[in-house]
Each structure stands twice: as C-alpha cells, then as structure tokens.
Amino acid sequence: MLNEAELGYRMEQQRQAWAAEVPKIIAIDPGNEQSAYVIWDGAKIHDMGILDNWGIRTVLHDIVETVWMAAIEMVASYGMPVGREVFETCVWIGRFCELATEHDFVYRKDVKMHLCQSMRAKDSNIRQALIDRFGPPGTKKDPGVTYGLKKDLWSAFAVAVTWWDLHRRKEG
C-alpha cells in the first residue's frame, strides 16, 4: 500500500495528465476497512489500487475534477441476516458518495447479468468473462487491458465495465 506522501504525489501527476483526456469514471468495490478502485475510460485502465477506505477518500478528493462519475458497487439485501461488516461498508459507501460530484450505484446482480447472463455467476465466472472480452492480462513486457488486476480489483473493474456499457450505450 502507498503511504500518504506517495499517494499524494502519484495522484497529482495523474490529475495533470488526465485533465485533457477522454471522460473517465472511477469504479469502487467497497469494503468495511479497505476498498478497490479502477479508473476506466471505456478502453483503458488509467489507475487502480486497493487502499484503506481513508485512502480511497483521498483518491476521490484528488480526482473529483478529472472523472465525471463514481460507479460504486452497492450492498443489496437478499433476505439473509448480515453482520456488522455489511453495515460498516454501507457507511463507507455514503462517505464515498459525499466526495463524488456524480455517483451511481451498481448492484452485483447487474454485474452478473451483464457480464455472464446468469445470476448464479461467481467471481471466477465474472473474471473469465472479462478476460474473454478484453484478452489475457499479459505480462509486464506485453501488458493486456487487465494487466495488474488481482483480488478485489477484478470486482472494481467489473463494476466499471458494467456501468460504462449500460450508461454509455444510452448516451451514444
């Protein structure tokens, strides 16, 4: 994980580079202590990371002028009891929304249906659907679109792709 000074320097460099580029969104897979984010323009991942939630707030604060939407995976109830962690995640989702100029929620069921056409899809199915669409991650020497994605970053990327596809199609 990046320390605060490194994160600030990195975000300042990227803010300057992004200002004149194509529209981007930040997609967030929230958690109760840490969250994953991906910055996506419909063709390329510009940045990604897994940070503690205060770090995600710093990222949102620093890029608010360079992205035009925060797509955040939202918690949904399916009738089963939930624990403290789920409620804490909901609090963090609200904190992230406070910093985003524009935000929209993406539900896991929408990701599953959009990418896999099945509510029974698991994380591995979603990951495979993204690889089938964008190609293999590749190597450091020859990176693919999904190079560097791991763990919760795959979920954040799935949120980004789902939001982009569903909303940009309506506009275009």
20: pLDDT strictly greater than 60: no
Is 143 part of a structural domain of the chain?
no
Asked if the model's pLDDT at residue 171 lies above 60, the reply is no
Tell whether 158 is covered by a domain.
Answer: yes
pTM, two decimal places: 0.85
Host H or E run for residue 153:
helix 152-171
CATH number of the domain to which 65 belongs? 3.30.420
The answer to the question of residue 87 being in a domain is yes
Question: How many structural domains compose the chain?
Answer: 1
Check pLDDT > 80 for residue 98: yes
pLDDT band, very low/low/confident/very high, at 16 (cuts 50, 70, 90): low
Per residue in 21-66, pLDDT (tens digit) is: 578 999 999 999 999 999 999 999 999 999 999 999 999 998 888 8
- Determine the structural domain holding residue 11 and report its residue range: 4-107+151-171
Does residue 51 sit within a domain? yes
- Tokens at residue 79, please? 């009738």
CA atoms within 13 A on the CB side of 85: 6
pLDDT value of residue 52: 97
Instruction: Answer whether residue 75 is part of any domain.
Output: yes
3-state secondary structure of 52: strand
